[in-house]
Structure 1
């Protein structure tokens, strides 16, 4: 199974999906913002220096991601601790 980590901040309603192991978090050297009008919120794709997709930032996450994913995500706010 793939090693994917999801973090979620309910206060900011922002999630991040990591495609790298969290402890090896690669530096994003390029970010591609998806059109907020087309998706009804902001989604950013982060790429490393080799052009590999390393993560996805999702703003307005509660309206874009499945509830089960947000419930199982590592919480970055105090409500989830």
Structure 2
């Protein structure tokens, strides 16, 4: 699993498969919560490919965020 964190966007993406090829994600389930949004990405067969968390600093533990790969730092 690969976890990336963009602090500028306050977003985390957790990739649950080795690679998500372009076009593989065909269905998204959106869950609105107090403080943010969680988006589940699925392929045609219904396999969960990844999870996006918007409002990550409100929805996820700080230690978890600290361990994520930062993609907002040049």
TM-score scaled to structure 2, two decimals? Answer: 0.87
Between structures 1 and 2, the one with greater strand share = 2
Matched pairs, number: 71
Aligned to 2:44: 49
Q: Does structure 1 residue 9 correspond to structure 2 residue 23? A: no
TM-superposition CA deviations, 1:21-73 (whole Å, max 9, x none): 2xx22421100111x2xx21111010011101111100000111111111111
The CA RMSD over aligned residues, in Å, is 1.2
Gaps of 5+ in 2: none
Detail structure 1 runs of 4+ shifted over 6 Å in the superposition: none
State the Cα distance separating 1:19 from its structure 2 match: 0.5
Aligned to 2:53: 58
State the Cα distance separating 1:9 from its structure 2 match: 0.1
Gaps of 5+ in 1: none
SS in 2 for 1:28: coil
Structure 2 counterpart of 1:30, from 9, 27, 32: 27
TM-score scaled to structure 1, two decimals? Answer: 0.80
